[in-house]
Amino acid sequence: MNALGIALFALVILISVSLHEAGHMGTAKAFGMKVTRYFVGFGPTLWSFRRGETEYGVKGIPLGGFVKIVGMTPQDEDADDPKAMWRFPVWKRSIVMSAGSIVHFILAAVAIWGLAVFSGLPNPDLPTKEPSLGQPAVLRVQPCVVTTLPLRDCEAKDPASPASPASQAGLRDGDKLIAVNGAAVANWGEALQQIRPLGVGQAATMTVLRDGAPQTVQVTPAEVEREMTDGSVRKVAAIGVGLDSTIPYLVKYGPGEAVGASAQYAGTMVGATFEALKEFPKRIPALFSAIGGEKRDPNTPISVVGISLLGGEAVNEGAWSMFVGLFIAFNLFIGIFNLLPLLPLDGGHLFIAWFERIRSWVYARLHKPDPGRVDYFKLMPLTYTVILIFGAFTLLTVTADLVNPISIYK
C-alpha cells in the first residue's frame, strides 16, 4: 500500500503539472495565439498526434510537461509569426502566463471544498498550531499517573503509576479547570503551564467549574518525566488528568456553507505557504545536517520525492484526508512559487510584461520615444543563475528526502 500510495501521489503531481500547461495552452488558443506543441513528460516521444497547428503527445520521462507558444518574446526565433504571443496586449499575455498557477489554485480550492464536505476542516475556533492546547481545560481524570517515560496506559499495580493526585483530591470527569493557585487558566495549554512548575508534594489550589458553579479543590502534584517541545526530557509536576474537551478538531460543512469555510481555510494555507517561502534560507543548514545523519526537522523543505513518500505513508495508514491535504499544499505552493518575479518562472515573464507596459506609459507622459521591449538576451546571466540555484536546491532536497525523509507516523 505504501508503494501504491507513492505511485498514486506521483501520478497526481504529473496530472497537476499537465493541467498547469493545459491552462497556458487553453488561454493562448482562446486569444488566438499560435500553440505548436503540448506534451506530457519529457525525453523521447512515445505517442503523438496533430490537430490543427498543434501536436499533442506523451513522452518517455513522466516528470512534468510543456507547451510551446510561438513567440513568447520578441527575441524568439519564431517571433515574426503574426500570431506570436508577444504581439498581443499585455492583459491577454498576463492571463496566459498566470493561467498555470490559476489551475493549481482551482485544484486546491476544489480539494479543500471536498474535505470540508466529506472529511471536515480544522475547527476555526482552535489555534492552527497545537490545536489541543487551545481547547478549554475540561478534564478527564485518570485513575493513576505515569511517572516515567515512555507514556503508557496506567496500571494500578505498577510502582511507576501511583494513584493520580486528581482522583485522590476528588476532581471529576467534566470539571473545567479555570484557575491554579489563583492564576486564571483559559485553555489546556495554560493549564499545563501552571501545573508543571508546581512544587511536588505541596498542595495547590485548583478552581474548577462543576455543573456551572465554581469549586475549589486542594491537589498535591506528583513528580513525572515528560518530553518537552524541544525534545528534552524534564521532571515536572502532574496531577493525572487528560483533556476531555467536547470541541471537535474537525468540522464538516454542508455544500453551501463549505464555500465560505473553504475560503477561510485557503487563506490560512496561503499565509502558511508564504511563511514557508520566507523561512527557506534558514532551513537549508538543517537539510545538510539531515543528510549527515541528524534527526530531520519536519519543517525543512521537501521535494516532489519527499511529498510523494508522505503520500505513500498516508495511503498506507488509510489517511485519505491527509493525502488530499498534501495535494492541496502541493498545488498552493507550486501556484504561488510559479508567480515569483524571477525568470524563467511565469512570474518573471509577467513582471517583465508589466514593466514594459508601465515604462512605455511613463515615457509617453514625458514625451519621450518608447524604449521598446526588454532584451531577454541581456537577462540570460540572471536567468541561468536562478536556474542554477533552483537546481542545486532541488538536488539538496531530493537527497535529504532519500537519505533522511520526513515521516508522518514514525
**DSSP symbols for 217-263:** EEE-PEEEEEE-TTS-EEEEEE-SEEE-----SEE---TTHHHHHHH
H-run or E-run covering 166 = helix 165-169
- On whether the CB atoms of residues 66 and 37 are closer than 8 A, the answer is yes
H-run or E-run covering 41 = strand 35-51
CA 18 to chain centre: 21
| 143-to-130, 203, 244 alpha-carbon distances in Å | 26, 19, 15
Q: How far apart are CA 319 and CA 314, in angstroms?
A: 5
Name the residue with cell 543548514. Answer: 285
**DSSP symbols for 353-378:** HHHHHHHHHHHHHTT--------GGG
Q: Could you confirm whether 155 is annotated as catalytic?
A: no
H-run or E-run covering 62 = strand 54-69
* Nearest by Cα to 296 from 149, 397, 151, 389: 397
- On whether the CB atoms of residues 209 and 178 are closer than 8 A, the answer is yes
Name the residue with cell 499585455. Answer: 90
Q: Which residues are catalytic?
A: 21
